[in-house]
Every structure is written in C-alpha cells, then in structure tokens.
Amino acid sequence: MMAGVCSRALRTLLTAALMGVALIPGTAPATYANGSESDLYWMRTEGKFAPPTAFIPSSAVTYDMSLVPAGAHITVTELSDATVTTVELSVSGLRPHRIYGTHVHTKPCGYRPDNSGPHYQHREDVHQPSTDPAFANHKNEVWLDFTTDAKGQGGSASRHEWRFRTGEAQSIVIHERGTATGPGKAGTAGARLACFTVPFGGSNSEGV
C-alpha cells in the first residue's frame, strides 16, 4: 500500500520535472534517462527530423519531407514503474490539420522506412506483420496517433499496465494516416513517413 502511494507521489514529481525540462526554451536536443536498475524508469528525448541522407545523422529521420518536413521537432517521454508505463509525444513543424498514425516499433530507425521493424506488442502475435485485432490493438501495442492544429503542432499520450521488455521497443514511427482497427488491417496506418529512435526502458520480467 505504502509502496503504491510513494510510487504515485514519485510519478507526479517526475512528471512535473519532465514537464519543467520541456518548458525551458532553447534546450538543445538531448536525451535524459535515469537508467533502469530500479522499478522506476523515466526518460525524455527530443529530436529534429532530417532526411536519412543528412550530412549530420539525426535520431529523427524523415522519409517524406512534404508531410514531415526537415526541421520538424519531436519530444518523447516515458515514465514507468513496476506496473504502469506512460508515454507522451509532442511534435511541431508538421502539416496543419492532419491526422498522423503513430506507434512504438521494435527496431531503431534506419536508412529505409522498414528498418524500424514491426510494432511492439505486449503479447506477441506469431503472424507478423500482425493485423489481427486480438493483437493489433491500442492495449497490446502503443498507439500515439495525433491530429495537428493550425500551426502543425500535436501530441498524444498512452498508458499501459505493463512494461516494455528490455531492448524490444526502440522507435516511434509516424505514418501517413490514422491507425485502422478492423480485421485484416488493424494497426496499419499507411506509409512510414518518419521515425525517431527512442531509448524506451523496460524490464527483464514482463511486469504485471
């Protein structure tokens, strides 16, 4: 009981701290993480999208500069304890009034859009790519679809009662349209427009 209360207080505190960092203007793109030795893992990382051919490689790669322009910005935070994982995403510099499907994928971004691998799944579907709604759904995967405002800014958040398996969640992929949910197409969201390599934390156990 006490552990629950403490963990909740700590979560609030860390969320405030992460938000505080986010509010500092002019902060250089960087990653902050506390490591994953304990039950608690927090991480905040940001990036500026650049094409895969950029002279200075970026952890944020755009494959379609008309829909995710070079220079667009992304910030991702994760906060997990023994039982709950929350992920928050915010973007700016995208096309206005547009829905972008967005998910956590299993591999880091690469030169090609498919380098980021399939979606991270808590319970893994043996059939990949997985389009069975029993597996490809927002509870078993991390979906972070968002709609941009008039300025091209947007954001979303997810909450799951499980933790990532260590090393198996490594990127955020932004797709061309909102995520489908029907049989045979669940989890699909069109072309992979952009990708951001993210150090999601996890646990060697599956958590609760």
Site of interaction with Cu ion (CB under 5 A): 103, 173
Q: How far is the CB of 13 from Cu ion (least distance, A)?
A: 32
How far is Cα 36 from Cα 205, in angstroms, rounded to an integer?
A: 12
- Helix, strand, or coil (residue 15): helix
How far is Cα 134 from Cα 125, in angstroms, rounded to an integer?
A: 9
How far is Cα 123 from Cα 190, in angstroms, rounded to an integer?
A: 23
* Structure-token match 């150090």, residue found: 199
Cβ proximity to Cu ion: between 173 and 194 the closer is 173
Radius of gyration of the chain (CA): 17
Cβ proximity to Cu ion: between 43 and 186 the closer is 186
> Residue 5 belongs to what H/E stretch?
helix 2-23
Cβ proximity to Cu ion: between 50 and 136 the closer is 136
Q: How far is the CB of 169 from Cu ion (least distance, A)?
A: 12
Q: How far is the CB of 102 from Cu ion (least distance, A)?
A: 7
Q: How far is the CB of 27 from Cu ion (least distance, A)?
A: 28
ω into 108 cis (within 30 of 0): no
The dihedral sign for the CA sequence 95, 99, 104, 110: negative
Cβ proximity to Cu ion: between 103 and 160 the closer is 103
What is the phi/psi pair of residue 47, to 5°? -155, 160
Cβ proximity to Cu ion: between 18 and 72 the closer is 72
- Helices H / strands E in the chain, number of each: 1, 11
Q: Give the residue nearest to Cu ion (CB).
A: 103
Q: Which of 207, 176, 205 is nearest to 192 (CA)?
A: 176
Cβ proximity to Cu ion: between 87 and 173 the closer is 173
Q: How far is the CB of 103 from Cu ion (least distance, A)?
A: 3
Q: How far is the CB of 187 from Cu ion (least distance, A)?
A: 7
